[in-house]
Amino acid sequence: MPDEYYPLAEQEFKEAVDQYNEENAIDVSRYKAPTDHVYIEEHAIDLYVGRRVRLESNKYFPDTGFRSSRITKITRKVNLPSQVDLEISDATSTGAMTTINDNITAVENYVREAMSGSFPDLIRSWDNTLPTDNNVFSARRVLKESLSRLRPDAAQGKITFAKGLDIGVYSSLVSGGTFRTDEQGNTYIEADNIFIRKKATIQETQVNRVTHISGEYIVSSASFAHLFRVEEFESYYRCYADDGEIDSENDFIVGDMAICRAVDRTEALKPRYYWRKVVGVGDNYVDLSKTDADTGSDIPVAGDALIQLGWAAPRSPGDRTPSSSPPSPSMPPASSCCKVSTPTPCKGKISSVRGSTRPPPGLSSKSSATLPSVSPNKTPIWSTTQ
């Protein structure tokens, strides 16, 4: 560059700086002065920060004799609020809004310069431009391309979760749910309830269940889980398993010993117990002897669980007796009794029908129970509904 250009460039730069300073220069001088509280009170003058005031002084402003400016600071006395000290200036302190405005201006300048240069291409929501490393998505295109975490959304294509999917606050066996793969690559689902509307094809099913036994668990040849009703006759009680409208299965035979051990929760947890001989059977009932029973046996009632435990004669299909003519309630000799087990109160005990070598205690042809006077007619005295 020729040397003669340097003085011309310097002169041009100086003129530009002087013009800028003349247009943007601010007098940063601050003028402080107290006020006359009597004058302020008499004229009810309201002084506040930002109010325009006129400063008159031939000494400080020889050209015009005055200057228009603003109040930038006020200091009042607590005991005399009308007496204040004012600070007046054209230069205000840089506050938060000024700083924000300056930053916005800087960003606008940067964007303006970037747009005039090599700013990346913008892919809008309707564009078919392929994304590359040199272009960017618009805000609407981003909402269109990605799934939202803050609002309901729908995926238009297949999504693969490489590490699984948790639902809610998942904690194994406690809360939430999960759908994932285990270490062997098998899929694993854990949830509280699963409802399948049409069809489920299952190769193998494993059911985990928590159960509780309080008392005895008896493995027996016959049982009635819940007596539907009980009818009393002259020498026996007829116990029905159901109302006769369903096709039930009765495995009791004549000569069986039927036991019931439970707690009557309607009478302050009163224990209930009886062990009686089966003297008649039907499709859905058994007849229990009044006399061939263990000492202290209670009367059967609806709701009892009846279980076969021991027998007074060999069990065979030919031992069934028509219900219209029940056999004699007398007990056969002890030598003809088969093996039975004597139930004993025990938490979680399992009893078998083939246990000890002696007959049930208290069973004899002479034993009898003390019963109230009842009519021999077939009148139900206890009943319930299912």
pLDDT digits (tens, 9 = 90+) for 117-166: 566 778 888 888 888 888 888 899 888 888 888 888 888 888 888 888 99
Amino acid 268: pLDDT: 65
Counting Cα atoms < 13 Å in the Cβ hemisphere of 201 gives 0
The string of pLDDT tens digits covering residues 271-281 is 889 999 999 99
List the chain residues with pLDDT less than 50.
319-386
Amino acid 97: pLDDT: 61
The closest of 323, 296, 321, 293 to 309, measured between CA atoms, is 293
Amino acid 266: pLDDT: 65
Counting Cα atoms < 13 Å in the Cβ hemisphere of 5 gives 2
Amino acid 155: pLDDT: 86
Amino acid 386: pLDDT: 32
Amino acid 260: pLDDT: 93
